[in-house]
Amino acid sequence: MIRNFAGIITASYKLIKVCEQIEKVATTDATILVTGESGTGKELVARAIHKLSKRSGNFISINCAAIPDDILESELFGYVKGAFTGAFNSREGKFQAANKGTLFLDEIGEMSLRLQAKLLRVIQEKTVQKLGSNVDEQVDVRIVAATNKNLRDEVVKGNFREDLLYRLEVVHFELPPLRERKEDISVLAHHFLEKFKSKYSKNISMSQSFIEPLKMHEFRGNVRELQNIIERAVLLCDSPELTSKDLPAYVLKNIDVKEEYKTDVCDKKELQTFNLDFDRINLVEFLTNIEKEIILRALEKAGGNKTVAAEMLNVNRTTLIEKIKRLCKEAA
Ligand SMILES: Nc1ncnc2c1ncn2[C@@H]1O[C@H](COP(=O)(O)OP(=O)(O)OP(=O)(O)O)[C@@H](O)[C@H]1O
Ligand SMILES: [Mg+2]
């Protein structure tokens, strides 16, 4: 069953369990740590937590890896006029901007030890001091932090404060990579198809030959990679249906060849290179061998998927299956 948790689309039992926990804790003030590989949906989860929290303030996001340490500090805490060269006016920081809302600290694993100490203080005291000021200001901010690093390893390496980790992971959600929830590939492909159909005003459907190789793909870039593949396909496709031809070459190349298909036509060692020897040539046998090799190669390239292979060869699926059966009989 396909579920939609405040924008998190999934049919995966693993992710549904995570989302059900998200629903439970969203309305509390608990600090939340979201971990998972790149592109698994950490920011989407943070936004869902905010939506479900019903907190009246804003969702404010800041990427701790993208900004140098001193600028991150002034972005987070704000500053008073004259706090440093160039501070011509006072400015509020992200903590204040997220007051009564949610502050999403993305890539928290990259934050310096110095700022980690300051963050810990904010979490404990619920107050912030602008740079250049010694006035404590009350803030009511729900913190959601995310990282694709293993923070326990970072603690061991001395890069992350253990006390901050305990504070952050009051609730910890680990998002499973897409390859561990393969049922989501088709579900999300359809979801993104609808999204990009309306974005680019195109009426396009998806054929099995498009979706099947995706189901076999590893998706190191997780959901973001799938989303990019669908967007590119919708953008570039001129026909009313997406087929294997609309997939990037690396998706077709990297799919594992299923053993059953390797032996489907004949044994692999029977693959031959053809030498024209007019003293002994048998035209029918020669053409059969060429046909056999082409079918084998197409099946390999299609990851064993007959629908995809048939499309590559421009024949009907049933024609291809008949040819495979005939070649198997001849090889027996
Ligand atoms: N379950 C999902 N349903 C719908 N869209 C999703 C889902 N998971 C991820 N996405 C979409 O995929 C893209 C990547 O997700 P997101 O930016 O949240 O990943 P991330 O884990 O923060 O990645 P990174 O570590 O690279 O920052 C976004 O456009 C997001 O909306
Ligand atoms: Mg992110």
Contact 134, 23 (CB under 8 A): no
pLDDT at 273 over 60: no
pLDDT at 51 over 50: yes
Token pair of 307 as six digits:
């629908």
Ligand 1 mutation pick, 15, 18, 44, 226, max ligand atoms within 8 A of CB: 44
Residues within a 6 A CB radius of ligand 1: 8-10, 36, 38-44, 148, 188, 191, 223-224, 227
Q: How confident is the model at residue 276 (pLDDT cuts 50, 70, 90)?
A: low
81: Cα within 13 Å, side-chain hemisphere: 2
Q: Which residue carries 């044994």 as its tokens?
A: 267
Domain boundary among 195, 225, 255: 255
pLDDT at 306 over 90: no
CATH of the domain at 310: 1.10.10
Return d(Cα 293, Cα 287) in angstroms, integer. Answer: 10
Beta strand pairing call for 142-147 and 32-35: parallel
In a 3-state reduction of DSSP, which class is residue 249?
A: helix
Distance 43 CA to ligand 2 centre (A): 5
Give the mean pLDDT of the chain: 89
Indicate whether 205 and 302 sit together in one domain.
no
Across residues 276-295, what is the average pLDDT?
Answer: 78
Indicate whether 58 and 40 sit together in one domain.
yes
Question: Which DSSP symbol is given to 240?
Answer: S
Query: Which of 181-190, 247-256, 257-266 shows the highest mean pLDDT?
Result: 181-190
pTM of the model: 0.79
Give the angle 141-146-150 at the CA atoms, nearest 5°. Answer: 135
Indicate whether 107 and 39 sit together in one domain.
yes
Token pair of 180 as six digits:
């561990």
Indicate whether 203 and 89 sit together in one domain.
no
Counting ligands in written order, the one closest to the CA of 45 is: 1
Give 258's strand partners.
none
Indicate whether 19 and 103 sit together in one domain.
yes
Indicate whether 25 and 55 sit together in one domain.
yes
Q: Which residue minimizes the CA distance to atom 15 of ligand 1?
A: 41
Q: Which residue carries 């082409």 as its tokens?
A: 294
Distance 75 CA to ligand 1 centre (A): 24
Q: How confident is the model at residue 275 (pLDDT cuts 50, 70, 90)?
A: low
CATH of the domain at 219: 1.10.8.60
Token pair of 139 as six digits:
């803030």
Summarize pLDDT for 111-159 with one digit per residue, the tens: 999 999 999 999 999 999 999 999 999 999 999 999 999 999 999 999 9
Q: Which residue minimizes the CA distance to atom 8 of ligand 1?
A: 41
Contact 226, 233 (CB under 8 A): no
Across residues 172-181, what is the average pLDDT?
Answer: 96
Summarize pLDDT for 64-108 with one digit per residue, the tens: 999 999 999 999 999 999 888 888 999 999 999 999 999 999 999
By residue range, what is the domain housing residue 265? Answer: 258-332
Return d(Cα 117, Cα 124) in angstroms, integer. Answer: 11
Q: How confident is the model at residue 294 (pLDDT cuts 50, 70, 90)?
A: confident
Q: How confident is the model at residue 331 (pLDDT cuts 50, 70, 90)?
A: low
**In percent, how much of the chain has pLDDT > 70?**
92
Distance 187 CA to ligand 2 centre (A): 21
Indicate whether 88 and 234 sit together in one domain.
no
Phi-psi region of 30 (alpha: psi -120 to 50; beta: other; left: phi over 0): beta
Across residues 305-317, what is the average pLDDT?
Answer: 87
Indicate whether 275 and 139 sit together in one domain.
no
Q: Which residue carries 């959600």 as its tokens?
A: 173
CATH of the domain at 10: 3.40.50.300
Tell which residue, 265, 266, 258, has the closest CA to residue 304.
258
Summarize pLDDT for 194-222 with one digit per residue, the tens: 999 999 999 999 999 999 999 989 999 99
Residue of 279 and 7 predicted with greater confidence: 7
Token pair of 95 as six digits:
């903590």
Domain boundary among 132, 151, 176: 176
Q: Which helix (H) or strand (E) holds 127?
A: strand 127-128
In a 3-state reduction of DSSP, which class is residue 244?
A: helix
Residue burial 245-278, b: 16+ Cβ < 10 Å; e: rest: ebbeeebbeebeeeeebeebbbeeeeeeeeeeee
pLDDT at 265 over 50: no
18 CB contacts (<8 Å, ≥6 apart)? 45, 173, 174, 175, 176
pLDDT at 266 over 70: no
Tell which residue, 86, 95, 81, has the closest CA to residue 129.
95
Across residues 165-187, what is the average pLDDT?
Answer: 96
Distance 244 CA to ligand 1 centre (A): 24
Indicate whether 132 and 147 sit together in one domain.
yes
Token pair of 328 as six digits:
């198997």
Return d(Cα 304, Cα 264) in angstroms, integer. Answer: 9
Residue 300 has a pLDDT of 79
pLDDT at 267 over 70: no
In a 3-state reduction of DSSP, which class is residue 172?
A: strand
Q: Which residue minimizes the CA distance to atom 26 of ligand 1?
A: 38
Indicate whether 44 and 156 sit together in one domain.
yes
Residue 255 has a pLDDT of 52
Domain boundary among 203, 236, 255: 255
| Tally of domains in the chain | 3
How would DSSP label each residue in 180-232?
G-THHHHHHHHHHHHHHHHHTT---EE-HHHHHHHHH---TTHHHHHHHHHHH
Indicate whether 248 and 303 sit together in one domain.
no
Indicate whether 169 and 219 sit together in one domain.
no
Give 102's strand partners.
59, 142
pLDDT at 6 over 90: yes
